[in-house]
Structures are given as C-alpha cells and as structure tokens.
Amino acid sequence: MSDRQQGSVLNLVVAHRLEARPLIESLGLASAGRVGAAGFETYSNEAGIRLIVSGMGKAAAATATRALAELPNADHPTDRHVWLNIGIAGHRSLPVGSSMLANKLVDAQTGQVHFPTLLLPGPASGCLVTVNEAETEYPLEAAYDMEAAGFFAAARSAGPLELVQVYKLISDNPQHPTERVDRALIARLFADKRTEIIDFCTALRCLGDDYNLPRRPSPAIDKLLQSLRMSVSQQHQLRRLGQRLQALGQSSYLLALADRPPASAQLLLRSMERFLIEAGNRGPTGNSEY
Amino acid sequence: MFSAIYIEAEVKDHPRVGEILRRFPQLPHIECTRYGELFNRKAQNFRLQKAAPALILARKHGNLVLPTPAGYGFESGPGFYFSHMLNCLYDCRYCFLQGMYQSAHYVLFVNYEDFQEQLQQFMATQNKAVFYSGYDCDSLALEPVSGFCRFILPLFAQNPQAILEIRSKSTQVRQLLESSPLNNVVIAMSFTPEKDSARWEHRVPSIAKRIDALQKLQAAGWPVALRFEPVMFGPEGLQPYRELLQQLADALDLAALHSVSAGEFRMPSAFYKKLVKLYPDEALFARSTIVSDGMTTLATADSDAMAAFEALLLAHVAPSQYYRCA
C-alpha cells in the first residue's frame, strides 16, 4: 500500500494563471490536463494536491470547483476533500503585500453571507466581499475579490464546512489602485508569502486528515469487500464492524479474517458481530474478569 | 480560549457584549444577523470545530425557562430548566450535546434580564419549584467571562422557596466562595472514575481539583451534591467506583450532601448515531449497545451492574439522599 497517496486531497481553486504559476512552482505541480465542459486547466502532484485555474468571476469559480469535485480520488474514494481558494484581492486599509483569511464572505450581488470556520493558525482574518467587477472605491472595511463567494458556495456542498477556506493576498488599495497590479507584483506577493501559504496548506490538509483518516476502511476491509459478494447494506455493515474492531484494538482479528474469509458475507458479518460482543465485554485490555 | 467572537446584530450595542469584546481585543469580532446562521448550519463537523470553538454572543427569544422532562432531577415538585449558554467548554466524549447540536461553538445569551424576568414569573406561580441550570452547558465553566451566576444568584437569595441546581464539572467557584451561601442553591458536581475521566473527559479539571472545590464549597456552607453520570462499567467492574467513592468520602461530609444521583450512559438514538459518525474510531462507541424506545444505552455483560453500583453507593449515603436519573 506504500504507493498510495496517504494524506487528504487538497484542492486549490485559483482564478488566474498568473496566480497559479507561483503555486505550481512552490508545490511541484505538473499539468494534469483539462476538465469540465469549459476545459479548465488543472495541475497536480503525487502528494495529493490539485489546482484548477477557474478564470475570473464567481460563476467561473463555482463551475471550476464543481468540476474539480467530480474528479475521482482513486486511492481513497470515501474521503472528503480539503478546499482552498487562493488569490489576490483589494482592501480598503490593509497594505499591499499583506495576507488574510476570510472569516465572513459576502456576495455583493445576492447579499448571501457565508462564514468560513476559523480553526487554523494563519494570517489575520477579515471580511471579504465578492463583487462582479473590480472594486475601485473600497466602500467597506473589507477585502474585495471576484471569486470567493462562488467558490465557497460550490465547495461547501462537497464536504464539511471546516475544510473550505479562503486565503487572499492584498494587491491593491486606495493608495495603490488596481491599474498598478501587474505580473511582477503578483509574483512578488506570492513569493513573499510562500512559507505562510505552504504552512497553511499543510495545516489544512492535517485538518482534512483529522476528518478522513478515522473514516477510512482498513486494507483488510478493502480485501474482504473484494473477496465476497455483498449487498450495499452488507458493505455498510462490514465497514462499521471493521471500524468497531479497530477502535477496540482488534485489527489482528480483522487481518486474519481477510486472509481466510468465511464462505459468505452473512457468515462473515455474523462472526464479526459475535467477536465484537466478546471483545467489548473483555474491554480494551482483554481482561475478561468482568 | 476562543477562535473568534461572533456578535448578533441585535446585541452588538449591549453593555455585556461590549465588556466581553473589550476583554478579547485580539480575537476577530464578526457580526452576524442571527446566531442560527452559524450555529445551525448543516455540514458542520462538531469534532473538527471542537479544536477551536468560537464564542457567539446572542439574544435568546421566546420561552427561556422550560419544564423538565418527566423524571428529571431530585424533587417530585415542578421542575424547570434554563440555559443561558449552549455547549460546553469541556470535551467529554460521551456528551449528548455532540449529538444534539450541529456546531461546537459556544453560544452565550446575554439578555440575562429576560431570564431573570421569566424565572420570577415561575417563582410567583409555582411553589417550591426547582430550577436546573447546566442542561445545555456547564453552568460554571465560563463564569469568569459570563458572570451569569453572579447575576442570577441574588434572585434566588430573594426567593428562598425556589431551588436552583447549578450543575458543573468546573472548579470556577471563587465567586461562590466570596458570596454568602444560599440554602436553596445546590452546586452539583459530576464525576466518573479517574481512568474514565482521563480517557473521556478532555479539558475537565482533575477529580482531585473538583473534590477540592466541592470541599471548599461545603465548608463554606453551600449545599453540594454528587452526580454520577454517565455510569459506565469497564473490565474492572465496580472497583474504579469504589476508589472514587472512597476519595469523595475522605474529603466530604457525605451525610450532609444535598443529594446524590446516578444514571447510566443513555441518549436518544439519533444523537448516538451522530456521535458514532463523528468518532468512528472511539472505543466507547465500538461497544455493543441496546436500543429501546428511541434511546441507546451501552450493553454490559452483567445486567445487575447498576444495581451493584447503587448498593455500593448506598453504603456511603442514605437512601433519602439518593435518586436514580430517569
């Protein structure tokens, strides 16, 4: 199993190729072809990081996010993915070069509000307003972008809210208007925050692992699923019985079963249930005095 | 202590909110319309959030004081409960709140005056009513921030016919020790045996510290009570409970306890299913269970275990002090 990708999949949604380039270099991503009807460019690495270039605007961000969500995770099909929208934004007062996490997302067009959950160490957080056209007046004490609300609405339907985050680099403000944002500035913004971005991606993946790893079926369960014919209901039962055995420290019994499976799924489930009753009564120490 | 503070628009100018926000200037202060838009969202994960919960400051509307379910509590008279807070600072693996709520964030309702008003109405119409605080939260754990007990105790001082139970695992009793004891306010502390506590009661003060707090309260004249909930038996059977009871007997005047109660691990099956989904790797939830009338309990090899525990308990306290939780 050593060739399997172990950690949770991290999906990065980026609006522009100029924003994607520094991430592709920093994270060692390679082209993974085009996906979706719109033909979004994707990149990935063997560690389980995937990046999609959505194009500008919240509709494009939502469509690209959904396209990325549909890509299979062959190694761990039951995993929930970790999502990060990363890119540049304007801000009324934050200096160019600073970074922020979104703690409140406002869709300026619809008025819809989202609250990304703050769980991880990272830069300071603030309100982010998604607008349809580049904001030059900065009317609120907030950051402004054109994708995050579309991204968040799409990504939150793909898994736990806590695994969906938005990270922005401030590229413009009233003193440094959008016209002065160019290729060189974007490259510098990402380069300056390279360590912070990588650390945040790592922390976010760890959070994903906290969610996914306890839910992954053991290799023994995978083997049993392949070796016996089972109904969907029996497969669910087997997965839960496997989790219970593992939680009670009885993995060796599970491995023994996988090596020599009973003749039928029914027999398998019955013997696991019987073993669990005895194991539960013995307790985790195996003491059967009680 | 908190990852952020969310503030309902309706209470943003409340003096209590201002006080709390000034105490935590370094945290993000985020305005929301109603606490439910955060707290009741679907697809939240209680387990992940519990690593860094936020505080939500809100206003509680409607009925703030509710009748207790049948069989709840220590008196046969009218019983009511109220919750100035939702969720608990502690992280007890067996806690039903994990199954009841979508979110692990703490909600603090800052309109204490409305609680006071509704409690007064019940006190005026219900003779010898018992009011329980700590059903949806730990009553004392956030007291240094909330000051709720400090606010509400004078009401019970003025209404000695009404009884208040403050249920807690917290050692935040300084404010109580600085006040004159009230005969009608019972501090009820929950206990499980040492090993169980270390394994399942994360962030909860140690048993020694809790006993120390109770000892101080008892010495100061406050009525104190013991709650053994949930009673769970492991491979060592009753022995951990023998040790716990001895620890308590060494420190407290058991004959002077207001009451002692015990209840098995039990919760609505829908909550239990949610707990299993949150913690599929938890040994406690890998045990065999019994489902009856929509409630889930842990199966034990010895069906007389609870009776044996009660007999052990009644060797230390009088039958009149004891009641079994429904």
Please state, rounded to an integer, the average pLDDT across all residues of chain A: 93
Both A143 and A224 in one domain: the answer is no
Task: Give the amino acid at B42.
Answer: K
**A251 neighbors A219 (Cβ within 8 angstroms):** no
Both A158 and A240 in one domain: the answer is no
Dist. CA B297–CA B287, nearest whole Å: 10
Residue A281's pLDDT is what? Answer: 57
Q: Measured between CB atoms, does B51 come within 8 Å of chain A? A: yes
DSSP labels, A71-139:
S--SS-TTPPPEEEEEEEEEESSSPTT-EEEEEEEEETTT--EE-----S--S-EEEEEE-SS--SS--
Residues in B 10-39 with any Cβ partner in A closer than 8 A: 28, 30-33, 37-38
How many other CB atoms are there within 10 angstroms of residue B45's CB atom? 23
Which CATH number is A185's domain given?
3.40.50.1580
Give the number of domains in chain A: 2
Residue of chain A whose Cα is closest to the Cα of B51? A119
Q: Measured between CB atoms, does B208 come within 8 Å of chain A? A: no
Both A110 and A178 in one domain: the answer is yes
Span A248-264, pLDDT tens digits? 999 999 999 999 999 99
User: What is the pTM assigned to this prediction?
Assistant: 0.94
DSSP at A176:
B
In a domain, A73, yes or no: yes
Which of A210, A238, A244 is the mutation pick for testing B, counting most B CBs within 10 A? Answer: A244
B259-264, strands of its sheet edge to edge: B65-67, B79-82, B130-133, B163-168, B185-190, B224-231, B259-264, B322-324
Both A99 and A223 in one domain: the answer is no
pLDDT along chain B (326 residues), means of 10: 97 98 97 97 96 97 92 80 96 97 98 97 92 91 96 97 96 95 97 96 97 98 97 91 97 97 96 97 94 93 86 96 90
Dist. CA B165–CA B135, nearest whole Å: 10
Q: Measured between CB atoms, does B283 come within 8 Å of chain A? A: yes
CB contact under 8 A, A119 and B299: no
Task: Tell me which residue range forms the domain holding A92.
Answer: 4-213
Contacts of A275 (CB under 8 A, 6+ apart): A245, A250, A253
Span A169-193, pLDDT tens digits? 999 999 999 999 999 999 999 999 9
Query: How close A28 comes to chain B (CA, Å)?
Result: 29
CB contact under 8 A, A161 and B37: no
In a domain, A96, yes or no: yes
Final residue of a domain: which of A157, A188, A213? A213
Q: Measured between CB atoms, does B309 come within 8 Å of chain A? A: no
Dist. CA A74–CA B159, nearest whole Å: 66
Residue of chain A whose Cα is closest to the Cα of B50? A119
Sign, Cα dihedral of B106, B112, B114, B117: positive
- Residue contacts between A and B (CB atoms, under 8 Å): 109
Contacts of A267 (CB under 8 A, 6+ apart): none
Dist. CA B273–CA A3, nearest whole Å: 34
In a domain, A207, yes or no: yes
Residue A290's pLDDT is what? Answer: 28
Query: Measuring CA to CA, which residue among A61, A60, A24 is closest to residue A45?
Result: A24
Task: Give the amino acid at B171.
Answer: T
How many other CB atoms are there within 10 angstroms of residue A134's CB atom? 15
In a domain, A290, yes or no: no
Residue of chain A whose Cα is closest to the Cα of B41? A161
Using a CB-CB cut-off of 8 Å, the residues of chain A touching B242 are: none
Residue A286's pLDDT is what? Answer: 39
In a domain, A68, yes or no: yes
**Up-side HSE of residue B123: CA atoms within 13 Å toward CB?**
18
- Bridge partners, residue A86, by sequence: A167
Both A107 and A182 in one domain: the answer is yes
CB contact under 8 A, A247 and B38: no
Q: How far is CA A159 from the centre of its chain?
A: 8
Both A144 and A228 in one domain: the answer is no
Buried/exposed code over A137-146 (b: 16+ C-beta within 10 A; e: otherwise): ebeeebbbbb
In a domain, A204, yes or no: yes
Dist. CA B318–CA A89, nearest whole Å: 69
Residue A285's pLDDT is what? Answer: 38
Final residue of a domain: which of A166, A198, A213? A213
In a domain, A178, yes or no: yes
Dist. CA B62–CA B56, nearest whole Å: 18
Quick one: pLDDT band at residue A282, thresholds 50, 70, 90? low
Q: Measured between CB atoms, does B234 come within 8 Å of chain A? A: yes
Task: Give the amino acid at B92.
Answer: C
Does position A3 have pLDDT exceeding 50, yes or no?
no
A37 φ, ψ (degrees, to nearest 5): -65, -30
CB contact under 8 A, B237 and A248: no
Query: Measuring CA to CA, which residue among A167, A224, A208 is closest to residue A190?
Result: A167
CB contact under 8 A, A161 and B302: no
Q: How far is CA A122 from the centre of its chain?
A: 17
In a domain, A91, yes or no: yes
Quick one: pLDDT band at residue A279, thresholds 50, 70, 90? confident
Query: How close A115 comes to chain B (CA, Å)?
Result: 7
Dist. CA B200–CA B298, nearest whole Å: 15
Final residue of a domain: which of A213, A234, A262? A213
Query: How close A237 comes to chain B (CA, Å)?
Result: 13
Both A121 and A223 in one domain: the answer is no
Both A185 and A231 in one domain: the answer is no
Both A143 and A209 in one domain: the answer is yes
Query: Measuring CA to CA, which residue among B133, B142, B168, B176 is closest to residue B24?
Result: B142
Both A229 and A196 in one domain: the answer is no
Dist. CA B18–CA B43, nearest whole Å: 31
Residue A5's pLDDT is what? Answer: 60
Dist. CA B89–CA B315, nearest whole Å: 34
Span A53-82, pLDDT tens digits? 999 999 999 999 999 999 988 889 889 999
Query: Measuring CA to CA, which residue among A73, A87, A93, A89 is closest to residue A208?
Result: A73
Q: Measured between CB atoms, does B4 come within 8 Å of chain A? A: yes
Cα separations (Å) of B239 from B152, B244, B263?
40, 9, 18
Which secondary structure element, helix H or strand E, spans residue B190, and what is its range? strand B185-190
CB contact under 8 A, A113 and B288: no
Q: What percent of chain A has pLDDT over 90?
A: 89
Both A125 and A252 in one domain: the answer is no
Closest partner residue to B283 (CB to CB) among A156, A247, A288 is A247
Closest partner residue to B45 (CB to CB) among A124, A160, A283 is A160
Does position A265 have pLDDT exceeding 60, yes or no?
yes
Using a CB-CB cut-off of 8 Å, the residues of chain B touching A113 are: 32-33, 37
Both A12 and A27 in one domain: the answer is yes
